[in-house]
Copies of this chain bind each other. A is one copy, B any other.
């Protein structure tokens, strides 16, 4: 009883200061129980939120809280107000877009990250954050079978990463002094152009808009029958553009496109980039993770020649969102595109002087092979837009250690096995039609009943089919269009998805 009283006293915030640590402990335990219950039953919620627009907005006061509220009230509102409006990305039935997972070790990592609350902008503003980022990305490089040296940095998303890649590619046009002078109003700077397949992610378009290159600066290269960039057409396009006065500067290849998970022919594209002196960026945000399985490392063939490469552990390495890994073989150029160090962020001389400490195993020698890789105390804010940087490496480190490379590979193989089951069922059923190869764990198909060949009717049928499945709640699928055909996508990537889920989904689709 005495304990209860002291807890009640602690739960009201003091006039100043934070929630008392003992109150935090009590609420923290409550929240952990909530989290464990949620993770245990996440499959029982309708995956796609079944709420109407404005439901939550109307349920909340129009005016802000003036007085402090009891944490009990706030916690109760999570269940009462928030949960009904959640689309459960952590559900085994989530197979829309690309699956993502907050695994147990990743969530525990997020808990540490939030309590430590460091800003990993400079080495000194948390040496462990900067160094752990470098170590985990070095581990991941090895897991993916990519040759060293490779400099890595974690961004929020691949959208930021491709922007950084293309900014560096533009900076690599060194004699134009773009960083200093910009690109407009300068007769010596022609219109810039970069290339990606017509199935590349929309973030590739967006990056060009931001950089001032414009949507017309991105030339989309047609794909072959398996949705892979046609390298011959790429080279023709480059030649045509050069002749017309454009300045080509980069190519974005994709390993695992968003629509069909197709794989562009990176080795041929790398040849072309070499021939024309273009920056090669590889977007392996989704597909790259599969290479933690040594048998799948063929998917990254040619990527050892890429200037930059993105793999998103928050997609298919079971790490909570957000965590997007950006690798580059040319960190000095990326840094040249972004580094700005005002006086108030200069580190003291002490830490700079001690940067001469020795490293074992010739690591330093290896690092020095690429300019910019020898720095033991990099300030990671120098490699992108954001100055403020969460300690994202911590959750990735916990995920990598808890599962190990073998555990990660086993789970990714299982997802691919489940996708192949679906592929077999679809291919064996005369009323369904597969619309693309499935090199990873994403399956594109549509219902195509015997005798029904009207495209408008097929589109309606499949749209209706998908809406019904999404309304039923157990699963959430999304769609794309392939050669004008409405295509249902099943993307398997949540760590909790089992064979039973896939069997039940196929049963629902057939019904």
Task: Please classify how large the interface on chain A is, using the bins under 10, 10 to 19, 20 to 34, 35 or more.
Answer: 35 or more
CB neighbours (8 Å) of A377 from chain B are 53
The one of B167, B182, B341, B470 in contact with A192, judged by C-beta atoms closer than 8 angstroms, is: B182
Q: Is the CB of A119 within 8 A of B89?
A: yes
Q: Is the CB of A86 within 8 A of B184?
A: no
Question: Which candidate, A36-44, A270-278, A421-429, is the interface stretch facing chain B?
Answer: A36-44
Interface: A457 (CB within 8 A)? no
Q: Which residues of A from 346 to 388 have beta carbons under 8 Å from B?
A: 348, 350-351, 354-355, 357, 359-361, 363, 376-377, 385-388
Interface: A289 (CB within 8 A)? no
CB neighbours (8 Å) of A97 from chain B are 119, 125, 344-345
The one of B53, B116, B184 in contact with A123, judged by C-beta atoms closer than 8 angstroms, is: B53
Q: In the bound complex, what is the Cα–Cα distance between A359 and B52 (angstroms)?
A: 12
CB within 8 Å for A36 and B31 given contacts A89-B118, A338-B206: no
Interface: A437 (CB within 8 A)? no
Q: Which residues of A from 41 to 96 have beta carbons under 8 Å from B?
A: 48-49, 51-58, 60, 62-69, 71, 73-74, 78, 81-90
Interface: A100 (CB within 8 A)? yes
Q: In the bound complex, what is the Cα–Cα distance between A390 and B157 (angstroms)?
A: 10
Q: In the bound complex, what is the Cα–Cα distance between A498 and B138 (angstroms)?
A: 42
Q: Which residues of A from 16 to 51 have beta carbons under 8 Å from B?
A: 16-25, 27-29, 31-40, 48-49, 51
Interface: A446 (CB within 8 A)? no
Q: For the complex formed by this chain, how many copies does it contain in all?
A: 2
CB neighbours (8 Å) of A265 from chain B are none
Q: Is the CB of B71 within 8 A of A16?
A: no
Question: Which candidate, A299-307, A394-402, A503-511, is the interface stretch facing chain B?
Answer: A394-402
Interface-central residue, A156, A217, A404, by most chain B CB under 10 Å: A156
Q: Is the CB of A139 within 8 A of B489?
A: no
The one of B87, B214, B363, B481 in contact with A183, judged by C-beta atoms closer than 8 angstroms, is: B214
Nearest-neighbor residue (CB-CB) of A90 within chain B = B117
CB neighbours (8 Å) of A119 from chain B are 89, 97, 100, 321
Q: In the bound complex, what is the Cα–Cα distance between A90 and B111 (angstroms)?
A: 14
Interface: A410 (CB within 8 A)? yes
CB within 8 Å for A39 and B18 given contacts A115-B90, A142-B63: yes
CB within 8 Å for A385 and B163 given contacts A36-B22, A479-B343: yes
Interface: A472 (CB within 8 A)? no
CB neighbours (8 Å) of A495 from chain B are 16-18
CB neighbours (8 Å) of A38 from chain B are 115-116
CB neighbours (8 Å) of A143 from chain B are 64
CB neighbours (8 Å) of A22 from chain B are 36, 40
Q: Is the CB of B49 within 8 A of A388?
A: no
Q: In the bound complex, what is the Cα–Cα distance between A60 and B397 (angstroms)?
A: 11
Q: Is the CB of A53 within 8 A of B351?
A: yes
CB neighbours (8 Å) of A82 from chain B are 112, 128, 132, 394
The one of B24, B103, B361 in contact with A19, judged by C-beta atoms closer than 8 angstroms, is: B103
The one of B24, B117, B338 in contact with A209, judged by C-beta atoms closer than 8 angstroms, is: B338
Q: Is the CB of B385 within 8 A of A65?
A: no
Question: Which candidate, A173-181, A230-238, A326-334, is the interface stretch facing chain B?
Answer: A173-181
Q: In the bound complex, what is the Cα–Cα distance between A390 and B29 (angstroms)?
A: 23
Interface: A502 (CB within 8 A)? no
Q: In the bound complex, what is the Cα–Cα distance between A56 and B359 (angstroms)?
A: 12
Q: In the bound complex, what is the Cα–Cα distance between A338 and B163 (angstroms)?
A: 13
Q: Is the CB of A182 within 8 A of B191?
A: yes
CB neighbours (8 Å) of A36 from chain B are 21-22, 24-25, 28
Q: Is the CB of B19 within 8 A of A385?
A: no
Give 27 CB contacts A-B under 8 Å: A17-B496, A21-B40, A29-B29, A31-B112, A32-B111, A38-B116, A57-B134, A62-B138, A64-B140, A71-B108, A74-B105, A82-B132, A86-B116, A87-B126, A88-B116, A97-B119, A159-B388, A163-B385, A181-B216, A183-B184, A184-B212, A185-B191, A185-B247, A201-B342, A206-B340, A206-B385, A321-B388
Q: Which 6 A-B pairs have the closest CB atoms?
A: A182-B214, A85-B128, A212-B212, A19-B104, A64-B139, A185-B191
